[in-house]
Structure 1
Amino acid sequence: MDNQQLFEVLGQLLSQLLSPDANIRKQSEEQLEKHWLANQPGPFLAGLSNFIVHHSDAYVRLLLMKSSEVFALSCCEAAGEDVLKYVQTNLLQSLASEQDVSVRNKVADTISQIALFLVNNKELFQACAEYISSPNPLFRKSAFMIFSGCPKVLIKQDQNSVKSIFMAGVQDSDLDVRLAALKATVNYICVSKQAVRNAMADLLPHLLNVIPGVMAHGGKEDEAVEGLTDIIELAQLFPKMFKPVLEHTVTYMVSQMKNTDLENGTRQTCLELLLTLCEGAPAQMRKYEPFAHSLIPVILEWMSELEDEPEWYAVETIEDDDDSSNETAGEQAMDRLAMNLKGNIVLPIAFQLIPTLLSSPEWQKRHAALRCISAIGEGCYDIMKKELEKVIGLILPHLKDPHPRVRHAACNAIGQMCTDFAPTIQEQFHQPILTHLIPIMDDLAHIRVANYGAAALVNFSENASKECIAPYIEPIISKLLVLMNTGKIFAQEQAITTLATVADSASLEFTKYYSNIMQVLLQILRFPDQKELRSLKGKTLECSSLIILAVGKEVFAPDFVPFVEVLKNIQSTISDPDDPQNSYLLSAWARLCKVMGTDFAPYLEIVLPPLLKSVEIKPKMVAFDADEAGDEYNEEDGWEVMAVGDKNLAIKTSLLEDKCTAVEMLLCYAEELGAIFHPYVEGIMKMIVPLLKFYLNDGVRYASASLIPVLLNCWIKADYQLRDAPDYDPEDEEALKDEEYTDEQFLADAAVTVSSLFKTFGTAFLPFFDQMISKLSEFLENKDAPSRQWALCVFCDLIEFTGPASVQYQPFFLAKMAASLGDASPDVRQAAAYGVGVSAKFGGPNYAQFCVESLPHLFNIINAPNSRSEENTMATENAISAVGKLLEVYRSTGAFSANDVILHWFNSLPIVEDAEEAPETYSLLLELIEGQNEVIVNVNQIPKLVSILSEALSLKDLLVKDPALKEKMVNCLKSVIAAADANTKQILWQGLKDGQKKYLSSLGLV
């Protein structure tokens, strides 16, 4: 089939991607993946670009690019540079004639994505330079869009020329061009080195001036927000760049925050820029006095923007505050300001305004003042703790405020302070706080207020001693029981949660209330299995088990059997993995075990099966395009969505939390039951060890790391076979007790996480990687060897999984990788040597000079004294492997004397420890032998060759992953020995170790 026919077939298939019939679309996607992407990536990309260029319908062109984008980008690397250049030329041709703005934007975006895979791209820069000088603003915008998507196109250009291009762009007469130039400038600065950033710093005023120009155009607020978002990205990475323009930035952003003609989202984006600067460079913002003085009054005004909606009072379920409202944005802003500016700055300004607001006849002002107090407490802790009595005195009267919303805010304020200033506030002020807070639970006419009073009691009780809480238990319980009978599920749940917390703090002081309370809770636990009651029953499980823990085994004993029956019944009804009762049930069983001790052992057979099922939960992950809404993956349903490159990744975090809880419960059982738990240890250990690398949830890894030594201890306590093992050392037991999850392990985990992202997403992960590159390169200079090692490992993964696209990052790591070949740490040398190898294999031509220049340093590692000592072996073998990779890639290029390098490499063999590097190394050796390389294939080298092959083959685990290679090596060894004369055989036999001789004997070769 010729190219024309291929393109016709592909055209039909691409047309089917746009079919309204889902089955046809699915079939075409499958055909693309199986037949084109896997086998013909080059023709696919070439045909796709032709289709895009020549199809007459703009709407079809746009849809086609969107629907095929994932397929196209996934095969760019495999297509090769020539095909990509052809596709780029086609798309640039399309830009030259395309009139549809949406299609133009998509084409420009696609060109920039393809450019990431091209090493040398002068043609693209030249095309963009022509576009920038075009009188047509559409062309100028397209050029800046390409620069924005692939700033590396500009990296090798003259710095002053690039600066002039950006300056002209942000001052362009066309609004869309200015915005595109703004984004391109920001993206370029973000990936540039310090010296370039310094040179570009005086562009910043002009970047900021783009925004007022956009604001002046009616109906362009979305574009203004987009431009501000770009500037925010710059502020996140380099906040100190803004120091020369702070006055202008603060003045203008505050003025826009006050502009009520703007949408709330626009005003909040202006606030976000100021908060980003505050978080990134707090000292800088503290020193600029007008910042807080101008900003805080506006934020408090925002916090007063509330309506007294009837819906607030009539709700059946409590939802989180509306994050899009100015009131919520203002409260969050006060929290962030306090955390960064601290009390010396924030408190004098805030408390100059708060008393006036609290005395205002407008309830919204009083509400704002109270919410402000609750927001700033944590950040202003050092100053506010000295004024607790005064602050509490301002809050408590408003628990009796005439307006229910203000009473609600007062509950929030006192509750938050009980968390922020614990335990001091409980110890010193329990009497005034509780005497004001407990009566508010009588406000059943405003059930949300009573409910929030109970919630504030949780904050108080969590950090209260039993001496503080004991005198108030009776009135608290009586009011909570009334709240439980209101018929409102959210109020019942809160009352039960508060009861659990009070019981936990009161401990044995709760005993006299136990019997009556437990009967009420058991009654709730016996409710039928209805979906709307599951959360209530789950919280009741938590409450009852905490009460049991508080009162102890003796008091609880009469209820043990009925309580177990209730738990068994609930367990039998749970079939939905999202059932909230599940995690509460797991915890309840574990608390029961803590109370009953060894008497709980008979129930393990009931408890462990569902628990282990939870441990084995597989994470639910869904990837979707960044421009898709993804509304079904919301936080309320237990999903967390994160951006990874141009994709969004949704993870069902609620399931991960259940998994973490399950591991923690196993830890509880193992600790409590000790030797009794030992029959389950082996099976559980097989499940837990792999979770040390469960990178989606830190809690799972930490709990697993804590559980493993406890499981081993169960074996030991049971006098299991460990103590009788021939290599058992008494110090081993002490070592288990002292085992910790070290900082070095955490750093290693972080590196492996990034590695996993590169493996999964390849070049699509690079935009996210850009945000960590500066910090990562700092680790290369760290005095701590593990930090240098793991930073190098990340850069190795960058090269391995993004190939030539990694070239743009060379300034951040390449010189340090070369220097690390001589590092004092063997682990660092190993990582650097591995880096040279992957550079040769995956990096492309732009790594050739670095690789060739590394050869002497690799041989320095190989030939160093003690290079084969235990601590140096892995570094040595990685250096040997790296030399082999250089031979594979460059030996025919004339970059070095190939036979000289082959000789030195051959004499450095064998590799005997590194099972990852051995297969490729020995494959090269066989290739040279089969090719009759004169350095290796001669009579003088037979003893060395037999020694290398026999030693490698005698190690049973070294080549276990590649049995085909092992068989080839055996055949080669047999051929070499068969061809040797008697004298040569005698010489080689004398030079072999016992293990090698034994292996050759097993093959019948001697």
Structure 2
Amino acid sequence: MSTEHLLGDMGDILEALMGVDNGHRDKAEKHLQRLATEQPGPVLLLLAQIGALGVGGFQVDQRFLCLLILRRLAFSRLPDLHLNPQTPHPTAPFDYITEEVRGRIETVLCTGLKDEVNVRMRKGLGTCAGKWAQASMLRKRPMTRLPPVLISLLGDPTPFHRFTTYQVIEITPTLLNDSRGGAIRSPAFLGQVLQGGLHDPSYDVRAQAIKATTASLLSQAFSSSQKIEYGISLVAEIFKSLPHFPPPIIGKAIQPLIDLAIYYPDLSLSHLDQCLPFLLSTMASPVQYPTPIALSRYDPTQMEYDDWVVSCKASTEILLSLLEVRKAQLLAWQDARVAKDLVGLLLEWQITALGLLGDDCTTWLEAEVLEDDDEYPGEPETSLDRLSGLVGDSGAIILPTLLEHVRVLLPRPEWICRYGALMGLSVAAEGSSQAIIPQIREIVNLIGHTAHDPHPRVRWAFLHCIGQMAVHCKRQVHKMYSDQIMEKCLEMMSDPQPRLRAQSITCLQVFLQDATAEQVIPYMDRLAPAFLEGYSNGPSYIQRCTIEVLGVLALSVVEAFEPHYHDVMDMLLQVLSTATEDDKTIVPEVLNSATTIGLAVGKRLFVADAARLAALMLAIQNQITDVGDPRGTELSRAWRRISAILEDDFNPFLPFIIPPLIRAAEFRPPPRGTKKSLSGEDDDGGPEDPDVIYTAELEEKAIAFENLAAYAINTKGAFMPWLEKCMFLSVDALSFQYSEDVREAAAFLIPVLLQTAKDEARIPIPDVLESIFVGLLNTIDQEQDNLYIPTLFKSFADSVRVIGIPLPLNLVHRFFNVAQRRANIWLKERMERKVLRQSGEIDEGDKQFMITEEKEESICLDKVDEAALAVQKTLMMQSEQPESKGLMKMFGDLCVTTHEARQYGGLFNQQ
């Protein structure tokens, strides 16, 4: 097959694709697709020849691009390429060309792998060959030419030739097993190949062999029993090899072991004395950037900073993953040394990284968006938070170590040490709260002086630390330190730095959420004016904090807020009345705060301002044109709060509120084939998934159902004009495929609407009732999601209880049939799972998946029993009916099945 006639075309295509002109690139892509459709064999062969053999004298960049195009184009379906013109389904060129052409292409790739000397081209060739082999094997066609070449490369004196073998194995770990012929098919042979790579003289090859080894252990290259047989020794060799790696590549060599720790932790835990000290040692701060004071037992690493961060991330993830799945075993090793050492190492990481920020924090202080701090090293804090949460009830294990480091760091002259100490306490507060509570007095006394620290970031960290302890150790903090916190936050609301004033307001907000009225009322005459003054004189982020905290303050003191109510409400209404359509962030916060204050003070005080607020809300509602506008979401919540406050006096607003909600609830994505882009404009192309494209509309639909339920509960009889329409929408939305939230909200709304109708003595006619219950049962019968099925059974049970009249016997029969089928499915799955569990042929990932499945099934079984009991009570009302005896037997059979299914449970409880 000659390809010379295509060289000119291919040269032009490559030149255009590598150019900067988008128009030329588009034309080149279309021309290439047309050529591949007309001559798929010659095009793919030429791409292979240029990339693998250098045919045509092209440059390295162009050759590399050819390999990339080859592996993508070969397996992509082309619209105008068909195997059978009578049934024009798009076909990939690989599936269209003859076996002879496939063989020629593979021969070219293998020749390139043997002969290519350019390192970059070898990597490209390895990736292309591996991806080609992978896609070919998915089509049940092993690439038999490749394994012998890979095996021959292992004996090549050039490291990068040996590297290629492990590169390809990483991409397609089952390649050697799936190929035909002799020892190549043996997992033992694969194990030997991998062992050889772990002892290769080249550390680059060793690092790639580690990747290939972990990929093989995570794939089907070894069976479950073989993973243990070969995996334990392979992982042992990895950890023997790693300490000898050059510092720059240690982190990259460790990274592949993360998934191994998650899915096959026992392979690593068989070598605790090797793997744990090594992983911990790689986290010690580098010589070039030492911490002001050592916090760990490990010598500084010789890595450069960027390499060290890679190593820290990888080692931390492995250790935390092992703790997550084998906590008891890891904590038992050397008296919980892993957890204790991690505390110091993570603090070192945090302080070392902070040191690169320097002493000047002007940019941080002048930032207008407080959440944006791209330079801030968040990984060590996140990891310490995870460690604290994983240790959990055993927080006493890490707290003494943490406090020991804090006592050393707080007196240090470097601000990064004091800051790191405070943030360490902050992030450990949640997981270690039970251990912190008995020592809360000592801790508060220990950090109290940092409130006056000369460095603003340390003062900020003090406020953050106090706020975290107020959240997670609330009873003790509020009981012992409410006055000190109030005084300190009020004092710091006068800090010269606006960012510190904002943080003091945030700290107060956190404290107020769980404070008692008695703790707050003595400070009301200082708090409310301070907040109003802060709003008047602060930048926009202080204004937002102030508006948020006012609602929390009102809820904490309730009636005691009355003396300040008018000043605060007048300010909020003024902000709302002057807000423009561009103020889309401040308006939701004002609405939330104003209506929350209304809830706190009650109808008597709020009613006078309700009309003004409602008028402003209607004006905002009329401005909103974009689905997903944050003002619209908060408007929905605000209307609900007002309805709860005003009760019957809210009814006049319903005609303005309910119709838009019904319109939102009626939304359905257009039929597939109608495409809407994220910009809202029509694009060329095929249909897209509506639950991705219409996210905002779907969220509004779910919120609409939730709000309709709230209004049905709060306004009762006044809701009746819309009840029938809402009932129809609810039943229809039970099987709404695009949104779980919509389905859940619709299922909840059905019994609410029935209760409203019952309260007004307007229970729907029998035909309507039957359509409701049939809709529920049909959805239950067809639904496959075990997370949604309990909601459906609960909706059914609640609806049966609400109507309070006998359920028609045909519906009772239908219910028991549907429930029995469901229960039989769960019973069968649990029986099969038990057999599989006893076989030992499951890995950690499978086990965790089974635990999740079993937990979901148990919830389903509980809701089935609940619904069955509700139906049985209605059946008892009709005991004189001839059919009732047979239906009672069905009830008994169902109870037996659900009980038997529970007997096959227990995997979750065994963990």
Matched, 1:570 2:570: no
SS in 1 for 2:174: helix
Of 619, 632, 635, which residue of structure 2 is paired with 1:582?
632
Residues 116, 150 of structure 1: 8 Å contact kept = no
Code of the residue aligned with 1:673 in structure 2: it is T
CA distance in 2, matches of 1:534, 1:595: 25
Code of the residue aligned with 1:332 in structure 2: it is T
Task: Give CA-to-partner distance per residue, 1:305-347, whole Å, 9 cap, x none.
Answer: 433322222222212454x655x33222221221123313101
After superposition, residues 900-911 of structure 1 pair within 5 angstroms as none
Code of the residue aligned with 2:309 in structure 1: it is G
Q: Quote how far apart the aligned CAs of 1:272 are.
A: 3.1
Q: What's 1:215 paired with?
A: 246
Matched, 1:96 2:137: no
Q: What's 2:174 paired with?
A: 152
Q: What's 1:933 paired with?
A: none
Matched, 1:332 2:404: no
Residues 115, 150 of structure 1: 8 Å contact kept = no
SS in 2 for 1:526: helix
CA distance in 2, matches of 1:695, 1:174: 54
Let me know the Cα RMSD of the aligned residues: 4.6
In structure 1, list runs of 5 or more residues that go unmatched: 621-632, 638-648, 751-782, 794-807, 814-826, 828-868, 873-1006
Q: Quote how far apart the aligned CAs of 1:195 are.
A: 1.2
Q: Quote how far apart the aligned CAs of 1:178 are.
A: 2.2
Q: What's 2:584 paired with?
A: 534
Q: Quote how far apart the aligned CAs of 1:455 are.
A: 0.7
Closer, same or farther in 2 for the Cα pair 1:226/1:387, shift >3 Å? same
Q: What's 2:305 paired with?
A: 262
Closer, same or farther in 2 for the Cα pair 1:4/1:43, shift >3 Å? closer
Residues 48, 109 of structure 2: 8 Å contact kept = no
SS in 2 for 1:725: helix
CA distance in 2, matches of 1:788, 1:577: 45
Closer, same or farther in 2 for the Cα pair 1:169/1:609, shift >3 Å? farther
Q: Quote how far apart the aligned CAs of 1:120 are.
A: 4.9
Of 652, 659, 664, which residue of structure 1 is paired with 2:706?
664
Residues 126, 164 of structure 2: 8 Å contact kept = yes
CA distance in 1, matches of 2:177, 2:154: 17
CA distance in 1, matches of 2:382, 2:559: 39
Q: What's 1:834 paired with?
A: none
Moved more, 448-457 or 429-438: 429-438
Q: What's 2:233 paired with?
A: 202
CA distance in 1, matches of 2:565, 2:538: 23
SS in 1 for 2:418: helix
After superposition, residues 520-531 of structure 1 pair within 5 angstroms as 520-529=571-580, 531=582
Q: What's 2:767 paired with?
A: 725
Closer, same or farther in 2 for the Cα pair 1:6/1:344, shift >3 Å? farther
CA distance in 2, matches of 1:10, 1:598: 78
Q: What's 2:62 paired with?
A: 60
Of 673, 676, 679, which residue of structure 1 is paired with 2:715?
673
Matched, 1:283 2:328: yes
Moved more, 157-166 or 123-132: 123-132
Closer, same or farther in 2 for the Cα pair 1:274/1:716, shift >3 Å? same
Q: What's 2:435 paired with?
A: 383
Code of the residue aligned with 1:266 in structure 2: it is V
Closer, same or farther in 2 for the Cα pair 1:553/1:334, shift >3 Å? same
CA distance in 1, matches of 2:892, 2:40: 45
Q: What's 2:266 paired with?
A: 240
Matched, 1:513 2:543: no
Q: What's 2:683 paired with?
A: none
Of 446, 462, 472, which residue of structure 2 is paired with 1:394?
446
CA distance in 2, matches of 1:719, 1:360: 74
Code of the residue aligned with 2:22 in structure 1: it is A
Moved more, 358-367 or 449-458: 358-367
SS in 1 for 2:471: helix
Q: Quote how far apart the aligned CAs of 1:111 are.
A: 2.0
Matched, 1:227 2:272: no
Of 736, 745, 766, which residue of structure 1 is paired with 2:786?
745
Q: What's 2:800 paired with?
A: none
CA distance in 2, matches of 1:294, 1:236: 21
Identity of aligned residues (%): 24
CA distance in 2, matches of 1:461, 1:266: 41
Q: Quote how far apart the aligned CAs of 1:231 are.
A: 1.3
Residues 347, 380 of structure 2: 8 Å contact kept = yes
Closer, same or farther in 2 for the Cα pair 1:651/1:231, shift >3 Å? farther
Code of the residue aligned with 1:546 in structure 2: it is T
Q: What's 2:211 paired with?
A: 183
Q: What's 1:490 paired with?
A: 541
Q: What's 1:928 paired with?
A: none
Residues 367, 406 of structure 1: 8 Å contact kept = yes
CA distance in 1, matches of 2:650, 2:41: 65
Residues 62, 106 of structure 1: 8 Å contact kept = no
Q: Quote how far apart the aligned CAs of 1:686 are.
A: 6.3
Q: What's 1:777 paired with?
A: none
Code of the residue aligned with 1:275 in structure 2: it is L
SS in 2 for 1:583: helix
After superposition, residues 337-736 of structure 1 pair within 5 angstroms as 337-341=387-391, 342-443=394-495, 445-529=496-580, 531=582, 533-577=583-627, 579-608=629-658, 611=661, 661-681=703-723, 684=726, 699=741, 701-717=743-759, 722-725=764-767, 728=770
Closer, same or farther in 2 for the Cα pair 1:384/1:3, shift >3 Å? same
Task: Give CA-to-partner distance per residue, 1:28-64, whole Å, 9 cap, x none.
Answer: 6678889978x99889867765675556424234334
CA distance in 2, matches of 1:247, 1:137: 31
Residues 169, 212 of structure 2: 8 Å contact kept = yes
Residues 442, 479 of structure 1: 8 Å contact kept = no
Q: Which has the higher contact order (CA 8 A, sep 6+)?
A: 2
CA distance in 2, matches of 1:457, 1:652: 39
TM-score, L = length of structure 2: 0.70
Code of the residue aligned with 2:213 in structure 1: it is T
CA distance in 2, matches of 1:49, 1:151: 23
Q: Quote how far apart the aligned CAs of 1:415 are.
A: 0.8
Q: What's 1:959 paired with?
A: none
Closer, same or farther in 2 for the Cα pair 1:501/1:143, shift >3 Å? same
CA distance in 1, matches of 2:658, 2:24: 47
CA distance in 2, matches of 1:325, 1:28: 44
Residues 110, 149 of structure 2: 8 Å contact kept = no
CA distance in 1, matches of 2:423, 2:561: 33
CA distance in 2, matches of 1:789, 1:10: 58
CA distance in 1, matches of 2:604, 2:429: 42
Q: Quote how far apart the aligned CAs of 1:576 are.
A: 4.4
Q: What's 1:312 paired with?
A: 364
Code of the residue aligned with 1:277 in structure 2: it is L
Q: Quote how far apart the aligned CAs of 1:238 are.
A: 2.0
After superposition, residues 865-880 of structure 1 pair within 5 angstroms as none
Code of the residue aligned with 1:343 in structure 2: it is G
CA distance in 1, matches of 2:43, 2:827: 43
Count of aligned residue pairs for this structure pair:
731
Q: What's 2:837 paired with?
A: none
CA distance in 1, matches of 2:420, 2:166: 44
Moved more, 86-95 or 310-319: 86-95
Q: What's 1:908 paired with?
A: none
CA distance in 1, matches of 2:692, 2:252: 24
Residues 744, 788 of structure 2: 8 Å contact kept = no
Task: Give CA-to-partner distance per residue, 1:376-425, whole Å, 9 cap, x none.
Answer: 12111222223333333334443344443222111111111121123453
